[in-house]
Amino acid sequence: MPDNIFEDLKARMGGAPVGVCGEDAEGAVAAIAPFAGGLLLRPLSPECGAVVCIGGRPDIGELAAGRPCAVVCPQDCSEEYGCAWLPQEEWSEESAVRLFRALAGEFPVRIIGVDIPGWMRFLPEDNSAVSELVSKLSAAVQGVQRMKDVQKLAAFAGGCSFWQPEVQVYSDFVTGEVRLTCAAREGIFFAMLSEIAGEQIDGEYTLMKYISSASEAMRGYAKVRDALDCARVNGYGIVGPDDGDMAYEQPQAVRQGNSVGIKLRASAPAYHVIRVDVSGEVCPIMGDASQSEGLVKNMMDGFAGDPEQMWNTDVFGKSLRDMVRDGLVSKVSSIQEETRSKLRKAVTRMVNEGKGGVICIIL
């Protein structure tokens, strides 16, 4: 709870008074006011931002109308009324501070934020460490609704495989914001790298080796990225010649009449990326007519409700998704090597000879 309870209550309620109800409300206001640190106290009215009930009342829930509430009476009634309870005693500075600290604990938590190490913010949502944290936190916040419940979050990471059990909890009573600082267990950095990379990275040497390999792959991909994007959108992309791939031939002198010139020739590979839209279908026969009709109807109904789940339907030990995928892969690899060579030669002539026309005969 805040140190300067009176000032923070004023700020949280926007200057609204605390409403007092119950036995001799006006007398209670007069008795508590000298110790309230300037906090406004009034007999309960609609404009009050919180409620203090003296003596307890069966209709306190209706009177509070969702506002933070504390009850002062001889017997513990916190479970009965569902709010803070304090025993009745002579009013003093100490008892007033206890009352308003208990009342502050009844204010709702508005925001719960989580701070994790910066490098972990790049992890995908389905990462094991992120999933574990989200799962644990989701269960813990179910019991945190009011400011007095905040400290329950300090132990929510206990038993985690990837996170330190100690969680730093910071709360701002005025704004109702709670921030949790979670730290990863030692050695988790390399475990997460291994999970993302798909190979074992257990130290600086393997990390540097992987980065070197990944850097080389990224440089290679950068050359073809624009062509792939173009092929994805327009159907055709070209990777132009790279300076490092240029092969220069020996210059040749060329005579034309009385003039002498020089011929400079170079060659370099260019890559043409073509998007080919492959279609495939499967049509499994499933039993006799009556069996097939019932199964097909169930599958069609499933497609209308959840298309993704329908494609996962198992038929003859294989899902429909796998059947269609196998058909597509078979078509993609069906072009023979000789045909591929002819296609490459044809495109090479079109580029080098500046020929724009092409006649294709498919046998």
Tell me: do 156 and 177 sit in the same domain: yes
pLDDT at residue 306, as a whole number: 67
Reduced to 3 states, what is the DSSP secondary structure of residue 96?
A: helix
pLDDT at residue 296, as a whole number: 62
pLDDT at residue 14, as a whole number: 92
pLDDT for 284 beyond 70 = no
CATH number of the domain at 64, please: 3.40.50
Give mean pLDDT, residues 79-104: 91
* Residue type, position 150, single letter: V
Tell me: do 71 and 137 sit in the same domain: no
Length of the chain: 363
Boundary-marking domain end, from 104, 135, 170: 104
pLDDT at residue 168, as a whole number: 93
With cut-offs at 50, 70 and 90, classify the pLDDT of residue 294: low
pLDDT at residue 293, as a whole number: 63
Burial 6-40 (b: 16+ CB within 10 A, else e): bebbbebbeebbbbbbbeebeebbebbbebbbebb
pLDDT at residue 316, as a whole number: 64
- Look at 13 and 187; give whichever has higher pLDDT: 13
pLDDT at residue 58, as a whole number: 79
pLDDT at residue 45, as a whole number: 92
Q: How many structural domains does the chain have?
A: 3
pLDDT for 13 beyond 90 = yes
Q: The tokens of 233 are what?
A: 């959108």
pLDDT at residue 1, as a whole number: 46
Boundary-marking domain end, from 163, 189, 215: 189
**Residue 291 CB neighbour total at 10 angstroms:** 10
Boundary-marking domain end, from 173, 189, 205: 189
Percent residues over pLDDT 70 in the chain? 88
Q: What is the pLDDT of residues 310-355, one digit of tens each?
A: 667 666 667 767 777 777 777 777 778 888 888 888 888 888 877 7
Tell me: do 120 and 179 sit in the same domain: yes
Tell me: do 173 and 132 sit in the same domain: yes
Residue 264 maps to a domain: no
pLDDT for 301 beyond 80 = no
- Look at 248 and 71; give whichever has higher pLDDT: 71
With cut-offs at 50, 70 and 90, classify the pLDDT of residue 361: confident
Domain range for 161: 111-189
pLDDT at residue 17, as a whole number: 94
Residue 116 maps to a domain: yes
Query: CA dist 25 to 51, 60, 71, 180, 226, Å?
Result: 11, 14, 13, 40, 76
Helix (H) or strand (E) holding 26: helix 25-32
> Which of left, alpha, beta for 205 (phi over 0: left; psi -120 to 50: alpha)?
alpha
Q: The tokens of 265 are what?
A: 């020739």
* Residue type, position 92, single letter: S
Question: How far from the centroid of its chain's Cα atoms is residue 346's Cα?
Answer: 49
